[in-house]
Chain A
């Protein structure tokens, strides 16, 4: 039987002059379906004050694919990742050069609200960071920000998110308990559920 040849595209990038390189591997899907670019990064450099953390990164990120950044510590993986939903804005002195688009819209254009960007582009952190609230309130936090007040709607969203994070069966009987009482792995799944809904 003929094995469909998998096209693997490796884009190598120098991230910082004095640091190891950040490699971006984009694995093409098995089908010939046209790939939709979700993000496009063109010649992006990021500074923290006078320190240039990332130099001249360009890469596409496609729909229905898992893209991973691999590199040694300090090579700028998180910095690039945090640029996608403008989390670097929260670091005093952080600055970005180049073009970063989300479905064709420039993320760093004038008049773009960082909060609006982050409502569409979620993020799960390396360390689990549940809010000191109940499991239910942790997951319902996002929808509540978006103005959802209906109890039945919230119940439904919470259940759906927790199910898709494979956490529902473990916590369905203790939704009112603190999110901090969960184990590390459970807490991280809670954060994933929180980001999804």
Chain B
């Protein structure tokens, strides 16, 4: 019989040791450590908010109005004005910025080509992404609130300014990912440019566009700084978005958390939990919508 070189047979197929194996072990260890480290802040934040906020949440907390004064004891009054304000202000901001942002990105990627205008808009959108949100608030104060007084609408404008670059950027990235072969296939069938964009490019990218837009909405819903100047604050329900001071969950957290009273602090935690739940529901909705839109892309 021929020489047997290993216990497994004529050919040794067992894993070799040495530096390669060591490298693999190190990389695996680093990856797992990073994973655990990432989990720490995520879980901690959510756990703390739930732990401190859950006692405040009740049907009365979610639905009654007005918001009590900060001296009111825990378990009294409700946050309905702030919940309604957040939904209205953020919703209207989304209504302004999502269509504008998507159209802007379509222009930059599909129509602008390498022209100066497209590059200029893309550059400005990038710059705007880095502008602190409070600057957007100041901007709206100067051009709107000083002339037309406080309103939820002004808050919507400020949030829309904040969301616009995010929507443009994320939509643009998604449009870049649409393979050129798809556009060519559509052109080869005699489609006009508008038709190619509407019937092929946008549907192919809709999943990512929705995610990006929802991310912008969730980000805006939690913004406090730009709202503080432009909607003022109120304790009463103001369903009219277009006139009068309004309030939002984020600003209520800001006001109540600064207050030394137990009741106010409990309401701040309750508002924080409500805000997280709203963002969570939005994300869940986005997933469902995206799954429905993208059922043909896999």
Task: Let me know if B187 is at the binding interface, CB within 8 A.
Answer: yes
Q: List, in ascending order, chain A residues with CB within 8 A of B189's CB.
A: 118-119, 122, 141-142, 145, 194-195
Do A133 and B190 touch (CB < 8 A)?
Answer: no
In the bound assembly, the distance between CA atoms of A115 and B190 in angstroms comes to: 4
* A131 engages B186 (CB within 8 Å): yes
B200 within 8 A of A: yes
Known contacts A141-B199, A178-B295: A129-B190 contact under CB 8 Å = no
B182 part of interface (Cβ distance < 8 Å): yes
A92 within 8 A of B: yes
The A/B interface has a contact count, at CB < 8 Å, of 78
B191 touches A145 (CB 8 A): yes
Q: Is the CB of B181 within 8 A of A129?
A: yes
Give A43-95 interface residues, CB cut-off 8 Å to B: 85, 87, 90, 92
A166 within 8 A of B: no
Interface of chain B residues 265 through 298 with chain A (CB within 8 A)? 294-298
What is the CA–CA distance of A146 and B297 in the complex, to the nearest angstrom?
25
CA of A137 to CA of B114 in the docked complex: distance in angstroms? 33
> Interface residue count for B (Cβ, 8 Å)?
25
Contact A132 B185 (CB under 8 A): no
- Residues of chain A within 8 A of B113, CB atoms compared: 92
From B181, B191, B294, B296, A127 is in contact (CB under 8 Å) with: B181
How many chain-A residues does the 8 Å CB contact rule pick out?
A: 34
Q: In whole angstroms, how far apart are the Cα atoms of A154 and B59 in the complex?
A: 53
Contact of B188 among A178, A180, A195 (CB under 8 A): A195
Which of A122, A132, A181 sits near B203, CB closer than 8 Å?
A132
Q: Say whether B195 faces chain A, with CB atoms less than 8 Å apart.
A: yes
B149 at the A/B interface (Cβ < 8 Å)?
no
Distance of A179 Cα from B192 Cα, bound (Å) = 22
Contacts of B179 in A (CB 8 A): 129
A129 CB contact (under 8 Å) in B184, B191, B294, B298: B184
Partner of B190, one of A119, A127, A134: A119
- Binary flags per residue of A166-191, CB closer than 8 Å to B gives 1, else 0: 00000000000011110000000001
CA A105 to CA B245, docked complex, whole Å = 68
Q: How far is the CA of A119 from the CA of B188 in the complex (A)?
A: 8
A131 B188 Cβ-Cβ under 8 A: no
Is the Cβ of B188 less than 8 Å from the Cβ of A118? Answer: yes
In the complex the two chains form, what is the Cα distance from A130 to B181 in whole Å? 9
- A155 to chain B: closest CB distance in Å? 19
- Say if the beta carbon of A116 comes within 8 Å of chain B: yes
Q: Which residue of B lies closest to A146 (CB)?
A: B190
Most buried by A among B179, B181, B185: B185
Is there contact, CB below 8 Å, between A145 and B190? yes
Interface assignment of A41: CB less than 8 Å from any CB of chain B:
no
Would you call A85 and B199 a contact (CB within 8 A)? no
From A90, A146, A179, give the contact of B187 (CB < 8 A). A90
> Which residues of chain A come closer than 8 Å to B102, judged between CB atoms?
none
Q: Is B204 an interface residue (CB 8 A)?
A: yes
Quick check: A132 and B187 within 8 Å, CB to CB?
no
Q: Determine whether the beta carbon of A132 is less than 8 Å from that of B190.
A: no
| Chain B residue at smallest Cβ distance from A85 | B188
Q: How far is the CB of B5 from chain A (nearest CB, A)?
A: 42
Q: How far is the CA of A87 from the CA of B179 in the complex (A)?
A: 16
Q: Let me know if A131 and B185 touch, CB within 8 A.
A: yes
Residues of B contacting A130 in the complex (Cβ-Cβ under 8 angstroms)? 185
B296 and A90: CB pair below 8 A?
no
The reply to whether B297 and A178 contact each other, CB–CB distance below 8 Å, is yes
Per the bound structure, the CA–CA distance linking A127 and B191 in Å amounts to 20
Q: Please name the residue on chain A nearest to B207 by beta carbon.
A: A132
Q: Using a CB-CB cutoff of 8 Å, which residues 120-141 of chain A contact chain B?
A: 120, 122-123, 125, 127, 129-134, 137, 141
Binding site for A on B (CB under 8 A): 113-114, 179, 181-192, 195, 199-200, 203-204, 294-298
25 A-B contacts, Cβ less than 8 Å apart? A87-B184, A87-B188, A92-B113, A114-B187, A115-B187, A115-B192, A116-B190, A118-B189, A119-B189, A129-B182, A129-B185, A131-B185, A131-B200, A131-B204, A132-B203, A132-B204, A132-B297, A141-B186, A142-B189, A144-B199, A145-B191, A146-B190, A178-B296, A180-B296, A194-B185
Known A117-B190, A118-B190; 8 more pairs at CB < 8 Å: A115-B191, A131-B182, A141-B186, A142-B190, A145-B189, A178-B298, A179-B296, A181-B298
